[in-house]
Amino acid sequence: MKIVDITEANASLAEYTSGLSGEPVIITNNGEPIAALVNLENVDFETISLSSNPKFIEMPIAFKSAPPKRRWYF
C-alpha cells in the first residue's frame, strides 16, 4: 500500500493509477486518510455506486434493528 500526503501528491493521476496492481494508493491530509485509489478489476458501476451510497449502506442496519414481525404458524 502506498500512502501519499495531499501536499506531496505532485504526480499525475495516470502515474498513480498505473501502479495499482492490487495495492491501493491512500491519499492523506495531515496523516488522516481522505481518499483511496483502488484497482476496480471485475467491478461494475452499479456496485461502486451502491457501495458508496450512505442510504444503501444503512439499509441492513435498519433491517436488523427493526422489530420482528409476528409470525403465524399453522
SS3 33: strand
Q: Which CATH class is domain 2-63?
A: alpha beta
Amino acid at 65: S
Q: Averaged in consecutive runs of 10 residues, what is the pLDDT profile of the chain (74 residues)?
A: 90 82 88 90 82 74 62 54
C-alpha cell at 48: 461502486
Residue 64's pLDDT is 62
Per domain, the residue ranges of the chain are: 2-63
